[in-house]
Amino acid sequence: MRYVESRKNLAGCVCGLAGVGLALTGAAGPLWPLVVAGLYGAGALIAPPERPAAPAFPDPAEQLDALRADLATLREYLAEVELPPAAHGRLTELDTLLGALLEPGWVSDPEHLRVLGRAVRQDVPEAVDAFVRSRWWIRAVPGKEPPERHLERQLAALRTEAGAIAEAMHEAEARRQETHTRYLEDRNR
């Protein structure tokens, strides 16, 4: 069925119809079936090849919706995990910042989306899961550095990374506001 709709078949059919037209006018003579078939073949050969369709990647809005859904899933997971108070506070602060950054209309830079996606889908779950697993082993091997410290350091690093994105977005909005102010002031001169 794909060939029936292809450019090669359509071009061949058009040229074949031209051959039928020649046959009806009598210009093709008694060999008109060969003329029609030859013109169809010529049309099929000269037609441009089919191009594969360009891949359809999700646009940033779709990526942001998926990332918000993943953040909701992460929040459900984190609600089931028992964390020490200091780590819980850092995690709440990070969660609040991630939730604010993922509000509609804020993040549009693909690099920022990638960093936030990595934090939500990989870094935070990995940090919490490593804490939960190592917390059990610390009972078996006492005297080691407590896993709470690592978790707090990891969450602080992730908070710094998300804070840098928030700062970059703030600077971009401040530049935009300043530019608009200059435009309005220059327009009234």
Residue pLDDT tens, the chain, 189 long:
778 888 888 999 999 999 999 888 888 888 889 999 999 999 999 888 888 788 887 777 788 889 999 999 999 999 999 999 999 999 999 999 999 999 988 887 888 999 999 999 999 999 999 998 888 777 666 677 788 899 999 999 999 999 999 999 999 899 999 999 999 999 877
Domain ranges, residue 133: 60-187
Backbone angle region of 105, left / alpha / beta, with phi > 0 → left and psi within -120 to 50 → alpha: left
Same domain for 19 and 108? no
pTM metric for this prediction: 0.66
pLDDT of residue 141: 66
Contacts of 10 (CB under 8 A, 6+ apart): 47
The answer to whether position 154 is within a domain reads yes
The answer to whether position 103 is within a domain reads yes
> What span, in angstroms and rounded, lies between the C-alpha atoms of 26 and 33?
12
Same domain for 171 and 95? yes
Same domain for 95 and 171? yes
What token pair was written down for 186? 């220059």
